[in-house]
Amino acid sequence: MKKFFILFVLAVTLIGVTEAEAAKIRLGVTSGPHEEIAEVVRKIAGERGLEIEIVTFTDFVLPNAALADKEIDVNAFQHLPYLQNAVKDRGYKIVPVANTVLLPMAAYSRRIESLSGLKDGATVTIPNDPSNGGRALLLAAAQGLIELDPASGILPSVTDITKNDRKLKFIELDAAQIPRALEDTDVAVINTNYAIEAGLAPTRDSLFIESKDSPYVCIIAVREEDRDRPEFKTLIESYHNDEVRKFVDERFKGSLVAGW
């Protein structure tokens, strides 16, 4: 009887360990706004019994690679077109499970104060990855600076420019490096997370900014095989929370918009 009791206690202990492990996840984010939001989410999730370890990356490439390699359980940093392009190029089995926030892309300049001061032949620096580079070109086209081949959809490249009367010179650079190049270009189109890190406020400092009905809302992404894990339901509920929405509104003052 004593032996049976010991075995029972061991079994209960093992079940408890398994449940504890199941209630922990590693969340990959990029530094800046996504990391700040994740800290708020971590607090809310903790109150719901989910422990989150935040893993911070400094570029856009590593979070999906880390997720595919099972170094993290989930990431929250990218918009859907970026994920779709990564899946196409790398063959990742990664899927979106929920929206987070929209970081409107914007254009900045140290050389001109408005588009009326933009000279023919000016340089425009844009991200060199297909999704964010295409997004920047669409933003330029929305301002009437260029025209694009409609067949290119939401992933145009510089080769899809069909009209460039201003003879603008598009320079492609790693997205994280563009704020540092702001002094060396006429216009720089910068992702909001990197703009904020550089002390730029999109709604205050930009020449022009993406509209709030943009399709580039950021997402929570997981491995396809894990999409039904119950921890992710708790994670999503923790993101889609009034406390997070209030934090986004008050901390970023319109530079970020809740996407749920």
Cβ atoms 192, 103 nearer than 8 A:
yes
Q: Confidence band (pLDDT; 50, 70, 90) for 156?
A: very high
Q: What is the number of helices (H) and of strands (E) in the chain?
A: 9, 14
Q: What is the pLDDT of residue 1?
A: 52
CA atoms of 185 and 212, how far apart (whole Å): 26
CA 56 to chain CA centroid, nearest Å: 12
Reported as type and span, the H/E element at residue 237 is: helix 230-239
CA atoms of 48 and 32, how far apart (whole Å): 25
Q: Confidence band (pLDDT; 50, 70, 90) for 213?
A: confident
pLDDT above 90: percentage of residues in the chain: 82
CA atoms of 208 and 70, how far apart (whole Å): 39
Q: What is the pLDDT of residue 254?
A: 80
**Degrees to nearest 5, angle at CA 103 with 196 and 227:** 120
CA atoms of 65 and 20, how far apart (whole Å): 26
Q: Domains in the chain and their CATH numbers?
A: 23-103+216-258 (3.40.190.10), 106-209 (3.40.190.10)
Reported as type and span, the H/E element at residue 218 is: strand 218-223
3-state DSSP helix/strand/coil % of the chain, to nearest 5? 45, 25, 30
Half-sphere exposure of residue 223: CA atoms within 13 angstroms, side-chain side: 15
Residues in contact with 253: Cβ distance below 8 Å, sequence separation at least 6, in sequence order: 201, 203
Q: What is the pLDDT of residue 187?
A: 98
The tens digit of pLDDT for each residue in 34-82 reads 999 999 999 999 999 999 999 999 999 999 999 999 999 999 999 999 9
Compute the radius of gyration of the chain from its Cα atoms. 22
pLDDT value at 7 more than 90: no
Mean pLDDT, range 98-109, rounded to an integer: 95
pLDDT value at 3 more than 60: no
Token couple for 259:
């996407």
Cβ atoms 74, 205 nearer than 8 A:
no
Q: What is the pLDDT of residue 77?
A: 96
pLDDT value at 17 more than 90: no
The three-class DSSP label of residue 114 is coil
Q: Which has more confidence, 9 or 220?
A: 220
Reported as type and span, the H/E element at residue 138 is: helix 130-142
- Reference 29, options 50, 51, 52, 55; nearest CA is 55
10 Å CB burial of residue 241 (0-12, 13-18, 19+) is middle
Q: What is the pLDDT of residue 215?
A: 83
The three-class DSSP label of residue 225 is helix
Other Cβ atoms less than 10 A from the Cβ of 93: the count is 12
Strand partners, 52: 25
